[in-house]
Chain A
């Protein structure tokens, strides 16, 4: 494992893109940053611009309008970028799957590195996903 991959996995800047989510997942994502879980221990911080990001965090079902923006944000991201879909909506569409404005799951638009189902997933599940993701990055 090289030093640069080690540095990348120890300093993940997360950009959170919410596609018409109901805010449950968003609140749980914020929980991971609060004093109880404190993701900054592992160098994980939220950033405001996709240009600063190493992780693109998706929440909510992406509909016809927001999927266009999602593709654009993914193209604007500096590579290497890791994409994580948080919540059942982002993974499969959940109860909105097959509705008039949501054509297909988000993995048909951009490549997804980790799916994290749950409505909403617990903060512990998110930390577990981060650990697995770091393992995957190191294995690459």
Chain B
């Protein structure tokens, strides 16, 4: 009984929903503040993302005529549930090193795809042509970045011979070797697309699709999508740090934990600076980019990792 309560607490409170949501919203504030400073503005106050989420919760929920009501309203919850579970599985071995299981890397890889899939499902269910264009772009983007992303995640698997976060964290970090560095760069580029930030924000494309995949969402479902995005903004860099860059080991004391947090903030700042200095590319350019050079570098990283292991 107590065991189940602990599990529920893990999913809902500490490494799961509440923790990820709070840190994710703070991260989205960092994103907006740094963006404002880059544009020589003052930027929003610290609690702005929290005000936004509360505001969405009190607004009316509009379901467009002709939309599939159940799928339209359930899609945001799929994404939220997936990112919550992914974050829980990801953080457990960093807090309690014995709490990881064989194959959790693969489970998290799948779970991190579901928020993007939920956007696709929700946009197609909303019976809006603009949302359909956004959804089809999101789908093409998933097809483009998944292959190089998984190639980059293969490097630590080859180096440690394990698909378990606990083992990967116990071994020396992959980014200390040439293969790991190439894999990290490939993974950072894929993360930018996975978070659908500029230059890969064509699914929502504020200026041409007026919100794209989210165009028909209002009130609480839109708030859940925004929350999911904020949580992904937290979970994705932590995932990269975990598999490639030594993780954020909270159980090893203050110094490694602070070092991990510094790595995390560094990745966030790189992401925000890319998003503020690059223009949006077209979807065909993005697909050529990911299936061409990025996949090539991913394959090179895998081959170099094999050679290093000989």
Contacts and interface: CB of A to CB of B under 8 A. Distances in A.
Interface of A: 3-4, 6-8, 10-11, 35, 38, 40-41, 43, 47-49, 51-52, 54, 76, 78-80
> Which has the most chain B C-beta neighbours within 10 Å: A11, A41, A79?
A11
A44 to B, nearest CB: 9
A78 B210 contact: no
A79 B59 CA distance: 6
Contacts of B206: 48
Given A10-B47, A38-B43, A40-B41, 5 more contacts: A7-B52, A11-B54, A52-B218, A52-B222, A80-B59
B222 A51 contact: yes
B187 to A, nearest CB: 30
Nearest to A7: B54
20 contacts: A4-B58, A8-B58, A10-B48, A11-B52, A35-B41, A38-B36, A40-B43, A41-B42, A43-B44, A43-B51, A47-B211, A48-B207, A49-B216, A51-B62, A51-B217, A52-B211, A78-B60, A78-B218, A78-B219, A79-B60
Interface residues of B, number: 33
A8 B43 contact: no
Nearest to A51: B218
A8 B210 CA distance: 22
Interface in B1-59: 32, 36, 39-45, 47-48, 51-52, 54-55, 57-59
Contacts of B160: none
B210 A49 contact: yes
Smallest CB-CB A-B distances: 4 pairs: A48-B210, A7-B54, A51-B218, A78-B218
Contacts of A3: 54
A18 to B, nearest CB: 14
Interface in B166-218: 206-207, 209-211, 214-218
Contacts of B62: 51, 76, 78
Interface of B: 32, 36, 39-45, 47-48, 51-52, 54-55, 57-62, 206-207, 209-211, 214-219, 222
Contacts, number: 83
A78 B51 contact: no
Contact of A4 (B48, B54, B207, B209): B54
B214 A7 contact: no
A33 B221 CA distance: 27
Contacts of A4: 54-55, 57-58
Contact of A43 (B39, B52, B219): B52
B211 A48 contact: yes
Contact of A10 (B51, B59, B218): B51
A41 B43 contact: yes
A3 B57 CA distance: 12
B32 to A, nearest CB: 7
A3 B47 CA distance: 13
Contacts of A7: 51-52, 54-55, 58
A52 B213 CA distance: 12
A12 to B, nearest CB: 8
Given A40-B32, A54-B55, A78 B44 contact: no
Nearest to B219: A78
Contacts of A41: 41-45
